[in-house]
Amino acid sequence: MAEASVTLERLKKALEALTNSIPGEVFTVADAEEVLGLSKRSVSFILKGLADKGLIVRTGRGTYSIHGKPIPMLDVETLPETSRTLHEALSSEGILFALSCLDILSGFTHLAIRRFPNFLWVEGGSEDWAMEVASKVGFTPIREPTSTQLPVALEFTADANPVIIRKTSIFYATKGGLARVERALVDLHYEVTRERYPLDGGELMRIFYYALTTISIDFPKLLRYSGMRHLRHEIKWILWQLKGKAEIPNAYLEPKPKPNKFVHRLPNIDEALRR
């Protein structure tokens, strides 16, 4: 089937078949191939046509949504005030950095969080520079704290603006000094489950729930970054916990993962939402 032959009538029939046959709103190209019974090339033309006409929304590489959720925008203006201050100071110095964790995800917590440690990735070798810049604009930098050091460090910064600084060589899923939501979710998961960030596991699960149910998530990007951090199994376990509550393609749920010692400590989503 040539691309030019995909008429509006054909697109509407394809959309009807997808809507009636796919259990959730989010689906993959493979899901569409199975429903439509066409070649991958033909399905690609149909999906492109549907997306071009606004009948479906592309949510990631090879994933689509029939009723699109908003795509999160990386925008400094949407950051909390302290995060904007830190971002402006670091940007003016030319430091390679990325804000993450609650700097990006504070809008997905149901708690009235008035104060939280900012979280900053910086390029390895520029940690001292970043600490100096942060100090000049009123922050108290905490460099690479361990789980045992963090409570003490936070206690000593009770009257200041603490910022946790960690080094990295991986700036995947970042832009303009901001982590994408997918990266921020993985970062927050690691920091909380390793007790390196002062947030409880129940709130971590709620943040995943609110993010996945209100915005469009790029699942391939989420899992690729989690793979880079050797957390893919743990993130898939959280996705499995959200099965039936958030629109997640089955391709990203199978096979069912077994919990390791870190995710075993987290409450299940029903328990987390009751808190």
Digit-coded pLDDT (tens) for 99-133? 999 999 988 886 655 568 999 999 999 999 999 99
92 and 37 within one domain: no
- Does 270 lie in the same domain as 145? yes
Question: What's the pLDDT score for residue 119?
Answer: 97
How much of the chain, in percent, has pLDDT values that exceed 70?
Answer: 92
More confident residue, 196 or 59: 196
Res 95: pLDDT = 96
Statement to judge: residues 113 and 201 lie in one domain: yes
Average pLDDT over residues 238-252: 89
Q: Are 174 and 180 in contact (CB under 8 A)?
A: yes
Q: Which of 43, 65, 87 is the last residue of a domain?
A: 65
Name the average pLDDT for the chain.
88
Beta strands in 100-173 (DSSP E): 118-123, 139-143, 161-168
Q: How far is CA 57 from the centre of its chain?
A: 18
Q: What predicted TM-score, i.e. pTM, was given to this entire model? A: 0.78
259 has pLDDT over 60: yes
Domain identity same for 61 and 87: no
According to the model, what pLDDT value does residue 96 have?
97
In this structure, which long-range contacts are made by residues 130-137, counting pairs with CB atoms below 8 Å and at least 24 apart in sequence?
Answer: 130/90, 130/95, 130/97, 130/165, 131/165, 133/89, 133/90, 133/93, 133/95, 134/86, 134/89, 134/90, 134/163, 134/165, 136/89, 137/85, 137/86, 137/89
Residue 60 shares a structural domain with residue 81: no
pLDDT recorded at residue 65: 81
Terminal alpha carbon distance of the chain: 53
* Residue 246 and residue 129 share a domain: yes
- Is the model more confident about 151 or about 2? 151
- Number of separate domains in the chain: 2
Domain span including residue 83: 76-274
Shared-domain flag, residues 127 and 215: yes
**What does the pLDDT look like over 174-222, one tens digit per residue?**
999 999 999 999 999 999 999 999 899 999 999 999 999 988 888 989 9
How far, rounded to the nearest angstrom, does the alpha carbon of residue 265 sit from its chain's CA centroid?
21
Confidence of residue 56 (pLDDT cuts 50, 70, 90): confident
Could you identify the residue written with the tokens 């958030």? 246
71 lies in some domain: no
Domain CATH for 23 = 1.10.10.10
128 and 177 co-located in one domain? yes
* Greatest mean pLDDT range, 8-12, 32-36, 89-93: 89-93
More confident residue, 84 or 157: 84
37 and 83 assigned to the same domain:
no
E-assigned strand segments in 32-117: 57-60, 63-65, 97-99
Give the model's confidence band at 8: pLDDT under 50 very low, under 70 low, under 90 confident, else very high: confident
To 10 degrees, the CA torsion angle through 227, 271, 80, 93?
-30
Does residue 70 sit within a domain? Answer: no
pLDDT of residue 4: 47
Nearest to 166 by CA among 191, 202, 186: 191
Mean pLDDT computed over 145-155: 85
- For residue 131, give both structure tokens: 């600490």
Q: What backbone phi and psi angles, to 5 degrees, belong to 28?
A: -105, 170
Residues 13 and 96 in one domain: no
The per-residue pLDDT for 157 is 72
- Residues 244, 149: one domain? yes
The whole-number pLDDT of residue 260 equals 95
Last residue of a domain, one of 65, 88, 113: 65
Same domain? For 43 and 153 the reply is no
The helix (H) or strand (E) run that includes residue 28 is strand 26-28
